[in-house]
Amino acid sequence: MIELKTAEEIERMRKAGRVVGRLLAFLAERVGPGMKTKELDEAAARFLRSSGAEPAFLGYRGFPATVCVSVNEEVVHGIPGERRIQEGDVVSIDAGAKIDGFYADAAITVGVGSLTSDAKRLIEVTKRSLDRAIASTTPRNRLSDISCAVQETVEGAGFSVVRDFVGHGIGRAMHEDPPIPNYGPPHRGPRLQSGMVLAIEPMVTMGGWLVEVLADGWTAVTKDRSWAAHFEHTIAITNDGPEILTQVPGAL
Ligand code: MG
């Protein structure tokens, strides 16, 4: 069952959303060549602490860090560590926070220095697929219209949509119903309505869509080691249309 949030609950989720959006903007500015991915995590932990927010990922099913940092062939759930970011890399950062009993969850992919034209396009198309998916969340559309918007945008650009991970409802728990795949035919599933709060998160690869999880038990990489990008927003559906709760200040 998809739980509808009251106006008061959405107001509380705006708080968590704003912190996550600001955290991602803060981290995106800091990503640079030579930096270890764990340095981003340390900065994220400090940022959330000073914002009065709890990290949502730390300890979640044993995840050992505040944010996920996934570089190049890493799709999602990268554990920040000793890997050094290099010029030309694409770095996906996924962050979640809890404030006042409610969660928000968002992700961005940042290009480091000058990128190949394919890498640049990968980031642009993934972001565009999220924008189109969000635009499709008008009341009266159905859940799979979100999925279809992502798939059409991504495959129309010659890239692939990851199947093994999906978006989700969000609220008092980080993962609520419904699961939101990034592929599928339109006009299926429950009707979208005001009060639904959803985390929509296309994961896109340059090559095939198959992924595998590394021996650390978390880091998901493309099977063919092609590069991947990931964008995510937590959005609330209102009678006036979607409201992005995790808007990243100054983001592309
Ligand atoms: Mg998520």
How do residues 87-124 score in pLDDT, each as one tens digit?
999 999 999 999 999 999 999 999 999 999 999 999 99
Q: What is the pLDDT of residues 161-192, one digit of tens each?
A: 999 999 999 999 999 999 999 999 999 999 99
Domain membership flag for residue 19:
yes
User: Phi first, then psi: what are they for 161, rounded to 5°?
Assistant: -100, 130
Q: What is the pLDDT of residue 22?
A: 97
Q: What is the pLDDT of residues 20-49, one digit of tens each?
A: 999 999 999 999 999 999 999 999 999 999
Domain membership flag for residue 150:
yes
Angstrom distance (rounded) from CA 127 to CA 229 = 9
Beta-carbon contacts of residue 212 (< 8 Å; ≥ 6 apart): 220, 221, 223
* pLDDT range class, residue 73, cuts 50, 70, 90: very high
How far apart are the CA of 44 and the centre of ligand 1, in A?
Answer: 17
Q: What is the pLDDT of residue 106?
A: 98
Instruction: For the chain, give the mean pLDDT.
Output: 97
CATH of residue 128's domain is 3.90.230.10
**What are the residues facing 237 on neighbouring strands?**
242
* pLDDT range class, residue 140, cuts 50, 70, 90: confident
Domain membership flag for residue 252:
no
* pLDDT range class, residue 251, cuts 50, 70, 90: low
Domain membership flag for residue 102:
yes
Angstrom distance (rounded) from CA 234 to CA 252 = 17
Q: What is the pLDDT of residue 248?
A: 81
CA neighbor of 200 nearest in space, from 139, 148, 155: 148
How far apart are the CA of 89 and the centre of ligand 1, in A?
Answer: 22
Domain that holds residue 133: 7-244
Is the C-alpha dihedral spanning 99, 61, 203, 228 positive or negative? positive
Domain membership flag for residue 178:
yes
How far apart are the CA of 167 and the centre of ligand 1, in A?
Answer: 6
How far apart are the CA of 207 and the centre of ligand 1, in A?
Answer: 22
pTM: 0.97
How far apart are the CA of 241 and the centre of ligand 1, in A?
Answer: 21
How far apart are the CA of 146 and the centre of ligand 1, in A?
Answer: 15
How far apart are the CA of 133 and the centre of ligand 1, in A?
Answer: 15
165 residue type, one letter: F
Are 44 and 20 in contact, with CB atoms under 8 Å apart? Answer: no
Domain membership flag for residue 218:
yes
Instruction: Provide mean pLDDT across the span 70-92.
Output: 98
Strand pairing report for 67-71 and 241-244: unpaired
Q: What is the pLDDT of residue 223?
A: 98
Angstrom distance (rounded) from CA 33 to CA 46 = 21
How far apart are the CA of 209 and the centre of ligand 1, in A?
Answer: 18
* pLDDT range class, residue 252, cuts 50, 70, 90: very low
Which tokens go with 203? 């994961």
Are 225 and 242 in contact, with CB atoms under 8 Å apart? Answer: no
Burial of 8 (0-12, 13-18, 19+ CB in 10 A): exposed
**Over 60: is that where the pLDDT of 210 sits?**
yes
How far apart are the CA of 105 and the centre of ligand 1, in A?
Answer: 5
Neighbours of 110 (CB within 10 A): 21
Domain membership flag for residue 27:
yes
Domain membership flag for residue 196:
yes
Angstrom distance (rounded) from CA 222 to CA 206 = 9
How far apart are the CA of 224 and the centre of ligand 1, in A?
Answer: 24
Instruction: Provide mean pLDDT across the span 211-235.
Output: 98
How far apart are the CA of 232 and the centre of ligand 1, in A?
Answer: 7
How far apart are the CA of 161 and the centre of ligand 1, in A?
Answer: 16
Q: How many domains does the chain have?
A: 1
Instruction: Provide mean pLDDT across the span 65-73.
Output: 98
